[in-house]
Every structure is written in C-alpha cells, then in structure tokens.
Amino acid sequence: MPALYFYPRDRQFWLFHSGALLFVCGITLLSIFFLGDFSGFNITASVVWALPYTYAVLLLRFIYKQRQWQQKSITALITMIILYSTVAGVLVVASVLLLTLPFFWTILSQSQAHFDTSSFIFRNLIGGSLNTQLFICSWIFVYAYISNSRRTRATEINNLRLQHSLKEAQLTNLANQLNPHFLFNALNNIRFMMHENTAHAENMLIALSDILRYSLASSEHAKVTLSQELDIIGRYISIVSIQMEARLQYSQRVEATLQHYLLPPMMLQMLIENAIKHGVDNIAGGGRLELTAEEHEATLVFTISNDFAAIRADSAHTTSASKTTNATENMGIGLDNIRQRLLLLYSQQASLHITNQQTAAAMYQFVVTLTIPKERTR
C-alpha cells in the first residue's frame, strides 16, 4: 500500500487545487466589487482565506484516505462531510478574522459612526462560514469523484494485466503441449530411419533441429507470419516423406500474396501432423494430403484435407454423424488444443470446423477448415 502523506506528492493535485483557489478568490473579489464593499479588509481577508482553507481540505483529504471513507455508505459519507465542513468552516473564518482584524480594526471602527463590534464579527463569521462550508463540501465531493475514477481505472488496468498474464500462461501451456508431441513423433521417425538410411536420418535431424529452433522462438510470440509457418511445415513434410516415401502425396495451394498474414505458430503444422498420423499413415498404400489457403474480405480460411481408411465392413451400419465423431476422436488432443488457442487469441472471431465424406468405395476424406481474422505484419 502506498504511503499516505499530508501534503500530496501529486503535481496534478496542486495544479487543480491552485486553479480552484484562483477561481474562488476571483469570484469572491468580483462579488465584493459589484456589491460596493471593495475595501482593503475584504480584499485581504479573501486572499488570506486561501491558506486556512487549504489546510482544512488537506486535513479532510488525509482523514478521508486514512479512515477509508470511500468504503462507507453514501448517507454516512455525506453526514460526516457536512459535520466536518461545518466545524472547519467556522474555524477557517475565525482564523481569517484573527489574522486580518488587528491590521484593519482602526479603519473599520472609524468608518462608521456607530460601529458594533459584536455584530460585525458575528455577521462575517456566519456568512463566511456558510460560504466556506459550501466550498469544502464541493471540494471533497470533486476529490472523491476523481479518486474513485482513478481507482476504478487502476482496478480495470490491473484486471486486464492479470487476464493478459493468464492468457499468456495458458497459451504457453498449450504450445508446450504441441512441441513435445511433435518431438516424440519426429524422434521415432528418425530412430526407424537410422537402421535403413543414415544419410536420410542425418537430413531428418537437420530438419528437426530447424523445427525445434522455430518452435522455441515462436513460443515467445503469439503469432508468426504464414511464410514462417509454411517453411516449418515444409521441413516437417521432408522428415515424414523420408519415412513414408511414396505413400504420402502432399500438395499445397497458397498464394504468395498471403505470405505476410499472421497466424498462431505451430497451428497449421499440428493440423498437418494429425492428418498424417491419424489419416494417411494408417492407409496401407498411403494417401493424399492437401493444404489450401483462401483470402476473404476479413478472414483467412485454411483447409487441410486428407484421406483416411474406410470403416470396417462389420461397422458399415455406422451413421455419417458417428463416423465424423470417430474420426474427430482419432485426431487426439490436437484439435481441442487448437480450439483453446483460437478462443484465447481471437475469442469468437475464429473457428475450426471438421467434416468427412466418402470419396471412393474404400476411402474417406477428412477435412478441417480453420478460419481466422486477417492480420498483416506491420
């Protein structure tokens, strides 16, 4: 909790307070002038009044913050402010009279033939106290409003910072779920290849090191360019193609004009990885995998389609809806992970849709459609 000082350390506070004092003193002097009572005593008293008035409002501010009056009910707050301003108003005007009357007593007493000392003091004390009470009440209500507004803004900023930190932590956690999953698969592929072709295994290790370097770097950024993501997909395909050889028929249709758009790192790569692992790799003769990207007015639409093995004859009665469900379940944690990342990054502006359809007597096509808002690098 910040230290509480009687004299505020905020420069803006003193600027506003000084401006308010000048305004009040100016109004008071104008009223004295138009009322025809433009005397040295009234002018001096108006100027001297600023000093005890400032101490009165500073003390009220100190009590307000120390006793945490902002947490009290509005009725209790108004009551305490009125009581304080009433007492403080009398004390402020009394101090002004004590400071100024000795210097103007002779002039004032000689200015009237029948000068009544008690009446003069009582009239100035009551009238000045009421005005001072009004100014103190106005001051503290304006101060309370500004303080509450600042506190509300500070709370909102802190909440946004907490939400941002939480979102970053969640995104990092989700990204960390992707990287070990990919690493495990890639290392398995390399392990098998080392017994068959060491040159291919070496190329796979080089490609894997590039992918891991990209993965570690991208964990520091919420988004990367499409060109960066496609480059890492190409390296991943080169690793998998060495093991699968002609069984993988990969194609890609992405216009060069889309290369500078942004998307979450490793997202397309994970979709490609799942399409191979749960689709093409399970087909004895292999199959097709295609990545396409289309630009719409406000969105980018990526489509990843792959072949996957048909359902066995003994389950031919399975409905289309259940086929889609089974295929979705076979995709593992990847799709749920991607949905969570999309929700964190884009809220409801992004989507991930899954469909499947029969393309031949023994083949099915699994299609994942990813839609994200268009964002370009600056």
* Unique residue bearing structure tokens 């199959």: 287
Residues spanned by the domain of 45: 11-160
Q: Quick one: pLDDT at residue 25? A: 78
By the 10 Å C-beta count (0-12 exposed, 13-18 middle, 19+ buried), 249 is classed as middle
Q: Are residue 37 and residue 125 in the same domain, yes or no?
A: yes
Q: What are the φ/ψ torsions at residue 373 (nearest 5 degrees)?
A: -65, 150
Domain CATH code at residue 270: 3.30.565.10
Both 219 and 279 in a single domain?
yes
With respect to residue 37, please indicate whether it lies within any of the assigned structural domains. yes
Last residue within a domain, chosen from 116, 139, 160: 160
* The pLDDT of residue 352: 94
Chain centroid to Cα 120, Å, comes to 61
152/234 same-domain check: no
> Measured in whole angstroms, how far is the alpha carbon of residue 211 from the centre of its chain?
31
Is residue 247 one of the residues assigned to a domain?
yes
218 and 127 belong to one structural domain: no
Question: Which of 142, 160, 178 delimits the end of a domain?
Answer: 160
Average predicted confidence (pLDDT) for the chain: 81
The reply to whether 356 and 272 lie within a common domain is yes
Reported in sequence order, the residue ranges of the chain that DSSP labels E, i.e. its strands, are 224-225, 248-253, 262-263, 287-295, 299-309, 351-360, 363-373
Mean pLDDT for back-to-back runs of 10 residues, the chain (378 residues):
77 85 78 66 83 92 87 88 93 91 78 72 87 89 86 82 65 57 74 83 86 75 89 89 85 94 89 88 89 95 88 42 46 71 86 82 82 88
By residue count, the chain amounts to 378
Q: Provide the pLDDT for residue 325.
A: 47
Into how many domains does the chain fold?
A: 2
DSSP-assigned letter for residue 377: -
* In a domain? residue 6: no
User: Which of 35, 31, 45, 26 is CA-nearest to residue 103?
Assistant: 45
Tell whether 96 and 50 lie within a shared domain.
yes
Whether residues 120 and 242 share a domain: the answer is no
Residue 335 lies inside a defined structural domain of this protein = yes
Please give the radius of gyration of the chain, using alpha carbons only, rounded to the nearest integer: 39
CA 81 – CA 21 distance, rounded (Å): 20
> In terms of pTM, does the model score above 0.75?
no
**Whether 204 and 344 share a structural domain:** yes
